Amino acid sequence: MTRLSPRLLQATPVTVDHAEGCYVHGTDGRRYLDFTAGIGVTSTGHCHRHVVEAARRQIGSLIHGQYTTVMHRPLLELTEKLGTVLPDGLDSVFFANSGSEAVEAALRLVRQATGRPNVVVFHGGFHGRTVAAATMTTSGTRFSAGFSPLMGGVHIAPFPTAYRYGWTEEEATDFALRELDYLFATVTSPAETAAFLVEPVLGEGGYVPGNTRFFRGLRQRADEHGILLVFDEIQTGFGRTGKFFGHQHFDVRPDVITIAKGLASGFPLSGIAASEGLMARAWPGSQGGTYGANAVSCAAAVATLEVIEKEGLVDNAAVRGRELLTGARHTATGAIGDVRGLGLMVGLEFTTDGAPDRDRATAAQQLAAKKGLFLLTCGAHMNVVRMIPPLIVTAEQIDEALGIWSEVLAEI
């Protein structure tokens, strides 16, 4: 008999037995504090009772009803509930299963709606691993290595990453907007550009928050040239940054947002939201798929939104996020060149003599796991340790994590 081995990039040596709230229990009998939340997915904590009950109830009545042909109750409830939290003007939603699919849906929509071929993306952005999404991803060569040719029509402009250049936020923003204008003057025309695709906070690219002047600069250019502004809210949505959506920190209006991860507490569900008028310009038949808006995922999403509201998780993310960021800055040693973040997305960049230090970041992550704290790395050089706990995290759990983290820093 052949024993199959799943291909895993296993960050921690633990096999999970079960998980509850902010903790994961290994088959080794140990309990681990989970500051990864399944890459920002289990925002309501692992196996929140309300979400589990809603999913259980739904499984017994309808699992699948192909939603472009069959309307079902959880989908109706979800669209109603989402309507109360989506930004003003985004009153139409299309559902898929993964973040990458949502990004591709957004790409199809903006091209069809504008009749233009090009998309401008921003350096360090991550948008997924399907071929189009990987083409628009610039947070590391590993995401598109070895399967060229990639999709055409993608242009890259800088994101204001002050730390990388050793600049102030102002200088980095000036540079980013100037280079965008230069791109339009020399490489591609704004009249050929369907959309800007940008994350409010670079996620996989190293937890770098954007800023108001930069995003307003994009909005202004979008308005001037009929370009659509797409915020990829897959990692930053549903309270993660301390506001319901990440772009809401920056007082800027999106034309389209992509959503996934925190939407359904771990059940596969993603989507895009846009205005009714814009969505109507999608060509019939071009958006869809067998499994989108799965009934159990929709029921879990409704329950997730209820938990976020009832337990005040957006505010909790803001308050706990500030504690985490302050604590992480306080405990930082010389190995850490920068500590940054927004809400419960906190990144610690490891450097040695100013250069990215992936080895130390990996060592810190592994030692933390041994000591009972799960963390992930990110960034083009994988030298940023990120802390992204469930939004239900308490002040005591932040202290517990920071206590373990200080020990880790003292030992590596």
Q: For ligand PMP, which is the closer residue by CB, 271 or 327?
A: 271
- Establish if 234 lies at the interface with ligand PMP (CB under 6 A): yes
In the shown chain, the binding pattern of residues 174 to 213 toward ligand PMP, with x for contact by CB under 6 A and - for none, equals: -------------------------x---xx---------
Asked if 138 is part of the footprint of ligand PMP (rule: CB under 6 A), the reply reads: no
Give 204 or 349: the residue with its C-beta nearer to ligand PMP: 204
377 binds ligand PMP (CB under 6 A): no
Task: Work out which of 21, 128, 343, 356 binds ligand PMP, going by CB under 6 A.
Answer: 128
Report the residue number whose CB is nearest to ligand PMP.
99
- Please tell me whether residue 232 binds ligand PMP under the rule CB under 6 A: yes
- Residue 262 Cβ vs ligand PMP, minimum distance, rounded to whole Å: 11
Nearer to ligand PMP, 367 or 378 (CB): 378
Instruction: Report the residue from 33, 51, 75, 103 that binds ligand PMP according to the rule CB under 6 A.
Output: 103
Per-residue mark of binding to ligand PMP, 41-60 (x: CB under 6 A): --------------------
Binding mask 251-290 for ligand PMP (x = CB under 6 A): ---------x------------------------------
The minimum distance between CB 99 and ligand PMP, in angstroms, equals 2
Report the 3 state secondary structure along the chain: CCCCCCCCCCCCCCCEEEEEECEEEECCCCEEEECCHHHHCCCCCECCHHHHHHHHHHHCCCCCCCCCCCCCHHHHHHHHHHHHHCCCCCCEEEEECCHHHHHHHHHHHHHHHHCCCEEEEECCCCCCCCHHHHHCCCCCHHHCCCCCCCCCCEEEECCCCHHHHCCCHHHHHHHHHHHHHHHHHHCCCHHHEEEEEECCEECCCCCEECCHHHHHHHHHHHHHHCCEEEEECCCCCCCCCCCCCHHHHHCCCCCEEEECHHHCECECCEEEEECHHHHCCCCCCCCCCCCCCCHHHHHHHHHHHHHHHHCCHHHHHHHHHHHHHHHHHHHCCCCEEEEEEECCEEEEEEEECCEECHHHHHHHHHHHHHCCEECEEECCCCCEEEECCCCCCCHHHHHHHHHHHHHHHHHC
Interacting residue with ligand PMP among 32, 35, 122, 126 (CB under 6 A): 126
Least CB distance from residue 248 to ligand PMP, whole Å? 16
**Residue 395 C-beta: closest distance to ligand PMP, Å:** 27
> Using CB under 6 A as the criterion, which residues of the chain lie in contact with ligand PMP when the complex forms?
39, 98-100, 103, 126-128, 199, 203-204, 232, 234-235, 260
